Chain A
Amino acid sequence: MPSANTAASGRPNGFANRINLQQYVVYFGFLAIFLFFAIVLRDSGFLTVRNLSNIVLQTAPATIMAIGLVFVMSAGEIDLSIGSTVAVSALAAAVTMNDYGLVAGVLAGLGAGLLVGLLNGALVAYVKLPSFLVTLATLGLFAGVSRSMTDLRSIPVTNGTFTGFFGSGAFLGIPSLIWWTAIAVAIGHLIYRETRFGAHVLAVGDNSRAAGVSGISVPRIRLTVLMISGGLAGLAGLLYAGRLQAAKYTLGETDLMTVIAAVIVGGTLLNGGKGSIIGALVGSLMMGMLNNGLILMGLSVSDQMIVRGLIILAAVAVSLREKSR
């Protein structure tokens, strides 16, 4: 009797096509947008090394936040609070650093992010509230905290070591922001793809009951992913403070939409169970390139927002189509 046992590929063609489309849409999108701007903006300086490297530098905080969100969304949760976590962390770092020095400042910034993550995570994992509502509330809560912390003032960050390390500096000729991005992506990818923790995150997002009866601690996974997200939003806050040499409550305010879009375009499913760190990186670069190109094309801020909104809609449509088939 012929058996199809362990044949290398028994998948029907239609299936393979759909998978490829969903998985690689971000790479095609990236290429398409790159080519579009390269042609349309050939005389406006889009293709210069300076402009292209600027795009990478500018997207560093969003890419770092996106990595955290890949973990959260893969576990079937969401973190809307990252937008205000960035500001709280940057402000905490700036204020602490000016009084107590570099190390205390860095620890305060990362600690603030982790604490927000701990609060979100505890409420989601142990009080069993939906992450959408919890992080919507903490988004508002910490937006208020960051405003009241400094009376809406901008706090200068003058520590040269800090601004070099987290902002304008370079190591081996490569800007520190690129180092941070590369390191975060590499470690994030390794943990996500190659560790038991990463596998458990996906299992919880895919079928939390099955994960539970298989001995995976579902609450612990939920807590951990939200803490990862908070901690990385804290790191993003440090990068903003380092690059801008100041911290302000507006930092990260408009990033939430961009980050969610980057993650979804990058192939992470909104409902969990599947995702990609590399995809989120490319998605984030794509969103940065889009921003940059639209500015160079002379679009107004409001037009940029409309175009970005439309791109996100398209991304969500592809993602949900994939999920519901």
Chain B
Amino acid sequence: MTVNAEATQGAPVLRLQDIRKSFGGIVAIENFSLEVYPGEIVALVGDNGAGKSTLIKIISGVHPPTSGTMTIEGETVTMSNATMARAHGIEVVYQDLALADQQSVYMNMFLGREPTNRFGLLDRRRMIDETEKLVKELDVRIPSAHATIRDLSGGQRQGVAIARATHWASKLILLDEPTAALGVAETAKVEEIVQSLKSRNIGVLIISHSLDQVFKLSDRICVLRRGKQIGVRETAKTDKNEIIAMITGLQHS
């Protein structure tokens, strides 16, 4: 059912098979199957309420699926909470970013996973050094690792959230509308950062309502409509009209 990109090699980092999710009587997702390969960016598109965020929550362990199997690097996994997903190398950049606004950039980078020294005390030096290194690599322009989150711009915050995910993700990063709240320049910056994740051989699943962005960033596009998977296309071999037709279910001439 799914179309595998020829360019990708090796086993998929994530494989979803026949995923179904219902909330009580409401079926939010059904018959969903998708593979994401290392170093690949897959875009998830669909109208409001199509089930995109639900799918992200299934993968990240927030809402375990009602049925279906999920495989990470060939190993079948059942994830019942976010901590388990993280242990499998999956990181999520939530729509609200999940940053602690009054704490420093480096404390956010290590939130819940702070390293300690041999006395059991916080190893600030290590957190600061690793933050600065990563921020430089990803070219997230923040004043300093010590800066407080609420003093940063929207794009800088988004950059910190993505940098955090990049730091911890060994296999897969899920991004839920990472540029929805950003201006033109900041969107471009975030897109650049997302693009740079490819070279780290991490699989990326990105939700976006902007088709321009989807066509700019993705290798493949997966379309959802009312919880059903309409199809997966290679970005290079499709166009906006086809995707729009798939999203809306209407033919555009």
Contact = CB atoms under 8 A, between A and B. Distances in A.
Interface of A: 3-11, 15, 190, 194-196, 198-200, 202-203, 206-207, 209-211, 213-216, 269, 273-274
B101 A215 contact: no
A199 B121 contact: no
B147 interface: yes
B71 to A, nearest CB: 23
Contacts of B99: 207, 210
B122 interface: yes
B101 A213 contact: no
A206 B101 contact: yes
B59 to A, nearest CB: 14
Interface in B104-155: 107, 111-114, 116, 120-122, 132, 135-136, 139, 141-145, 147, 151
B124 to A, nearest CB: 8
A196 B117 CA distance: 11
A236 B111 CA distance: 33
B172 to A, nearest CB: 16
A8 B116 CA distance: 24
Interface residues of B, number: 33
Dominant secondary structure at the B interface:
loop
B220 interface: no
A5 B141 contact: yes
A35 B151 CA distance: 36
B215 interface: no
Given A7-B144, A9-B143, A199-B107, A215 B114 contact: no
A11 B143 contact: yes
Contacts of B100: 202-203, 206-207, 210-211, 273
Interface of B: 82-83, 86, 92, 94, 96-103, 107, 111-114, 116, 120-122, 132, 135-136, 139, 141-145, 147, 151
B102 A199 contact: no
B144 A194 contact: no
A216 B83 CA distance: 9
A216 B82 CA distance: 11
Contacts of B151: 11, 15
B83 A215 contact: yes
Contacts of A15: 151
A195 B119 CA distance: 10
Nearest to B114: A196
Given A3-B139, A6-B136, A203 B144 contact: no
